[in-house]
Amino acid sequence: MAKKPIIRAQNLCKTYNTGSEQYHAIRNVDLDIYDGDFTVIMGNSGSGKSTLLYLLSGLDHVTAGEVYFHDQRIDAYSEREMSDFRIRRIGYIYQSINLVPDLSIKENIALPGYIAGTKKNEVQTRTSQLMDAMNIGSQSNRLPSQTSGGQQQRAAIARALINSPDIIFADEPTGSLNYEHGKAVLDILTNINRKGQSVVMVTHDFKAACRADRLIFIRDGKVGGIMEFEKYDEYHIHDRESMIFAFVSGKE
């Protein structure tokens, strides 16, 4: 069956103005992100990966070009439409985790549910279910600072899932984690993707990139290459890792 785009970028550009200087971080990018895919974005430091993620998810304004979400043009949304889109349709996992320090793990996860106006009992039920799924139920009343980095990252994933978004964006979600915690986070993202959730993940890590159905390589603010895979299977991980390494090394 042909894949359908969930996000489509056309002639996308982002220019940062710093004083008198301009920096063209994203340059005329045409790109489809497919519904149900686990999409991985790789590229050298400063190539524009995070900027691209911000534009595709509506977290930042485009300088030029268009972004479509299921055929709806989101870059033309008003501020109000955009904030509604961000809270209901997308989930965003930040590299820096970004939990609210004064709220408990449970309250952090529930917060976007309340902002979306969902009934209190529904938010509470879903928060409990997500905490169980992420194996952080025992941490629910602790502050983020009283939990491990891996637990905080799993809470950040639960928070991103609370409003059942159509697509999850994750910017280096394993960047600050040790191997064991990083693998647990990747396993969670892989499992939710197998259940149909679209995932877009930026990573520098070749092992993490093996989870991809589709790998997009960004070079100097442009798409430098795209590689397609079958669904991830741990059995073939070593072959896949060397293929990705060869692909990326050839594009740098």
Ligand X SMILES: Nc1ncnc2c1ncn2[C@@H]1O[C@H](COP(=O)(O)OP(=O)(O)OP(=O)(O)O)[C@@H](O)[C@H]1O
Q: Which is nearer to ligand X, 147 or 172 (CB)?
A: 172
215 contacts ligand X (rule: CB under 6 A): no
CB 138 → ligand X: shortest distance, Å? 33
Tell which residue, 222, 96, 116, 125, has the closest CA to residue 163.
116
- Among 31, 38, 40, 47, which residue sits at the site for ligand X (rule: CB under 6 A)? 47
What DSSP letter does each residue of 28-80 carry, written as one string? EEEEEEETT-EEEEEE-TTSSHHHHHHHHTTSS--SEEEEEETTEE-TT--HH
Q: How far is the CB of 45 from ligand X (least distance, A)?
A: 3
Q: Which of these ranges, 42-50, 102-110, 118-126, 162-170, lies near ligand X under the rule CB under 6 A?
A: 42-50
What are residue 23's phi and psi, to 5 degrees?
-125, 120
Query: Cα angle at 200 between 194 and 205, to 5 degrees?
Result: 95
* Residue whose CB is less far from ligand X, 160 or 218: 218
Q: Contact between 224 and ligand X (CB under 6 A)? A: no
Distance CA 109, CA 141 (A): 11
Nearest approach, Cβ of residue 123 and ligand X (Å): 32
Question: Residue 24 in 3-state DSSP?
Answer: strand
Residue 44 Cβ, how far from ligand X at the closest point, in Å?
A: 7
Query: Rule CB under 6 A: which residues touch ligand X?
Result: 16, 18, 23, 25, 43, 45-51
